[in-house]
Structure 1
């Protein structure tokens, strides 16, 4: 196991872990967005509350939540370690730098973007996940059965301008983070080819914009077009 430890504690090993966990988290975003689209059903929140109940009580989903949390922790930890290693390797900046000539804005600011996303994630979990898992939500009866009314919590939260602003700004940060991270993950894993890499880059850009736009539309819709 010594070779395994050395490999994945090295810079390239940590980049591989960053790539794998990043792609896993990207897949979670797709599932999460599909579930959140239930909010648009004109049924008083019944479909979304049933979906939330299923996610909260299904054993497989609960197990995957643990995997997801570990994925986040590994991703964040490796990002911090790699950033510190990069700074230690070049403690003194070059006299003249023109980073914009050979790198994108998102690639130069992944740390800032990641920090914005992390702060949003903490607020988001505290506002929705914690009461949904540990109590604090009002109840609602659907087809004779009682459920937590997470839909009401979502709608009420998206009536608050500053929360909507934080949400939308965070989705913009996430889009930039994904635009760089998507193609970077494939490159780190060696999945590059002169024929396919341009497609991967274009697909990653489109995917990042569409997913984050999908998330951002939800709070904007409830803030501007929905009344309790």
Structure 2
């Protein structure tokens, strides 16, 4: 076995893989949340549909998306491997849980990760798959350039071949797949809204431990930077981002 393979098959190597893929997924959460905030705009989904088209057709983003899918799979597999090896190292659980100061989320990362993996599968099936398989409806927007007023109408698949955007006599015409309608309709189901909110709660607890643990694995836990890492990990990733994602299905369910 090569030194490279040995390094990544070691305990530290596996933790490093988990750390790097986890931080990459954290960066994706920021970008994804910023894009999904377009759902709050009162423009019948124009900004969100433009964002969806850009994210699925801009070549550099498409390359990054494959890295994202790979990271999710690797992060999940390595989490399972580490969990099984930890159980193998201690086949008999403690009769009394040791008071080692660990928080609940750090002791239940496997459960939280499983919930999140199921969420990702459901999420991809509901939106990603339908968008890429041509099951999404189509829409045309006509925006008056001077006033900014936008009107929209559904269009048949036979009238639409690909995303287009052009100016016609002072009117910006945009035709696209209407992922906004797909998302809005999906979140009229109360059980799906609850599922998403619970999944975001799991994400919050997962990030409470995971974000700070990643920096510790990298050795970036100097006492000068530790307060900043804890602040970002708690208020940005563990609270802010899950709340932002959870607010979207609730908003669409209540107001659309």
TM band (smaller chain): over 0.9
Distance 2:206 2:87 in 1: 20
1:138-217 → structure 2 map (5 Å cutoff): 138-142=137-141, 143-207=172-236, 208-217=238-247
Distance in 2 of aligned mates of 1:171 and 1:107: 17
Could you say which residue in structure 1 is the equivalent of 2:160?
Answer: none
Partner of 2:88: 88
Matched position secondary structure for 1:43? coil
Q: 1:117 & 1:97 partners in 2: Cα distance? A: 25
Q: Provide the rounded CA distance (Å) in 2 between the counterparts of 1:198 and 1:61.
A: 33
Q: Deviations over 1:22-73 (max 9, x none)?
A: 0000000000000000111111111111111111111111111110011111
In structure 1, how many angstroms separate the alpha carbons of the residues matched to 2:62 and 2:187? 26
CA distance in 1, matches of 2:210, 2:242: 14
Unaligned 5+ segments in structure 1 are none
More strand as a share of residues: 2
Shift of 1:192: 1.1
Query: Is it true that 1:129 corresponds to 2:128 in the alignment?
Result: yes
Question: Which residue number in structure 2 is paired with residue 61 of structure 1?
Answer: 61
**2: CA distance, partners of 1:24 / 1:112:** 21
Bigger share in helix: 1
Shift of 1:215: 0.4
More displaced, 5-14 or 53-62? 53-62
Moved more, 52-61 or 161-170: 52-61
Which residues of 2 match residues 40-55 of structure 1 at below 5 A? 40-55=40-55
Task: Report the equivalent of 1:20.
Answer: 20
Q: Deviations over 1:100-128 (max 9, x none)?
A: x5200000110010011011110000000
The alpha-carbon deviation at position 134 of structure 1 amounts to 1.5
Structure 1 position 112 matched with structure 2 position 111: yes
Q: SS in structure 1 opposite 2:96? A: coil
Runs of 4+ in 1 over 4 A off after TM superposition: none
Q: Distance in 2 between matches of 1:83 and 1:206?
A: 28
Task: Report 1 or 2 for greater relative contact order, CA contacts < 8 Å, sequence distance ≥ 6.
Answer: 1
- In structure 2, runs of 5+ residues without a counterpart are 142-171
**TM superposition score normalised by structure 1:** 0.95
